[in-house]
Structures are given as C-alpha cells and as structure tokens.
C-alpha cells in the first residue's frame, strides 16, 4: 500500500494542482491540515483522490468538518486495507499567530486519550510530537499531547505537518514518524506499507 501525505497547502493553487496529479499513483491521500480559508479550495482538494482523508490544522475554518463530511477523521478511526486503521487529530498547541485551531496541550490530550489507537494505527496529526523535527528559531513547537499518545499507545506510524520548513523521518519508541514539509513549498511525504512493515520518505510534489 502506498500513501501520499501532504500538509499546509494554505490556499496555494500550484500545490493543489501538483497534489491532484501526484495522488493518482497512490492508494490513499492523507492531508494533515492547514488547507486554507477558502471553501471552494477545500472542495477542489476533496476531488483529488477517491480515498482521501483529512484533519483540520490550526488555521482551518469552522466549515471544515461540514464540507469534508465523513472524509474528515478528526477524533475518528477508519479501518483501511491490510488490517490497518487511521486515527486523526488536528489542531496545534498555541502559536504566535492566534489561529482558530490552537489549544493547550492539556486540553488536546483530554480529547485524544479516548482515541482507539493501537499498534496497527496510522496516527494522522497536524502538529508533530514535541521535540521531533519541530524546531522553530530554537524553540520546540510540537505537541506534548501527541508525543504522550505515541509513547502510550505505540501506533505503527505518525504522519504530521505544521512546521513548514521542517521535514524528515524519526522514530519515537516503536513508532515511525513522517514529518512532511509544507505543500505550498512543494513538499510531501510517502508511506509504503507492506506486511506490517512501514517505509517512510520525504518527496517533492
């Protein structure tokens, strides 16, 4: 199974066109939030792939879940192929930009702790786990709540975005982490999963 992961489009039409073209070669398209402020832009993204799942970022608008419907997996679990499942959680800890989807980590963890995450879960989050590819001007901008969930529940993989200029692959305990750069900067990630083994890499759109 091949999965394309993107995040942080921020209404960029060029990124959207590249995603639509690139997604054709993948089994699933996962979008880790901060898509943009335009309803029409979001609707166009939903047409990019028949198996697309999304979560809201800290900057997405209040119509996000209404427009996305069942393809929004915020605080939901979706069973997919080969005994795998997806669980999603968007938003971010507070930022200097005071966007609508910012919450303290303590509050985010209170929402996350009931999520049905297990060793066969791909945990899709907007914010990266705290301390993992999350440095912004010498300060960690990731989520302690995401980190705690990974340490406690040990999902197979975590895919995340949020920090535009940071990307890479890391390991937290037994969980593989794919941190993707901003799609508006032409960046994405790829997950290749076969027989319970997961391979992650960062790619250009």
- Report d(CA 93, CA 14) in Å as an integer: 28
For range 153-177, the mean pLDDT: 97
Quote the pLDDT of residue 82: 75
pLDDT in tens, 88-125: 999 999 999 999 999 999 999 999 999 999 999 999 99
Output the pLDDT for position 196. Answer: 80
Question: Mean of the pLDDT values across residues 169-198?
Answer: 96
For the segment 183-195, the average pLDDT, to the nearest whole number, is 96
Write down all domains in the chain, each with its CATH number in brackets. Answer: 2-204 (3.60.21.10)
Is residue 131 pLDDT above 90, yes or no?
yes
pLDDT of residue 3: 98
Which class for 182: exposed (0-12), middle (13-18), buried (19 or more C-beta within 10 A)? buried
Percentage with pLDDT > 70 across the chain: 100
Q: Tell me which residue has tokens 């009931």.
A: 114
Looking at residue 83, its pLDDT comes to 87
φ and ψ at residue 98, rounded to 5 degrees: 55, 50
Average pLDDT over every residue of 175-187: 98
Q: Against a cut of 0.85, is the pTM above it?
A: yes
- 5-41 burial, b for 16+ CB within 10 Å, e for fewer? bbbbbbbbeebbebbeebbeebbbbbbbbbbbeeeeb
Mean pLDDT (the chain) is 96
């Amino acid at each position: 199974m091949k999965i394309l992961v993107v995040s942080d489009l921020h209404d960029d039409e060029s990124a959207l066109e590249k995603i639509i073209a690139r997604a054709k070669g993948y089994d699933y398209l996962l979008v880790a939030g901060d898509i943009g402020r335009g309803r029409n832009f979001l609707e166009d993204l939903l047409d990019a792939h028949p198996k697309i799942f999304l979560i809201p970022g800290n900057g997405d608008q209040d119509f996000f879940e209404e427009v996305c419907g069942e393809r929004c997996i915020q605080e939901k679990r979706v069973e997919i192929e080969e005994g795998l499942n997806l669980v999603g959680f968007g938003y971010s800890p507070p930022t200097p930009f005071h966007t609508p989807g910012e919450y303290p980590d303590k509050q985010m963890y209170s929402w996350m702790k009931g999520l049905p995450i297990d060793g066969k879960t791909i945990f899709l989050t907007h914010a990266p786990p705290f301390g993992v590819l999350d440095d912004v001007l010498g300060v960690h901008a990731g989520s302690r709540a995401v980190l705690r969930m990974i340490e406690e529940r040990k999902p197979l993989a975590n895919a995340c975005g949020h920090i535009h200029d940071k990307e890479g692959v890391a390991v937290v305990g037994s969980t593989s982490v794919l941190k993707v750069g901003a799609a508006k900067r032409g960046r994405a990630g790829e997950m290749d999963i076969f027989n319970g083994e997961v391979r992650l890499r960062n790619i250009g759109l």
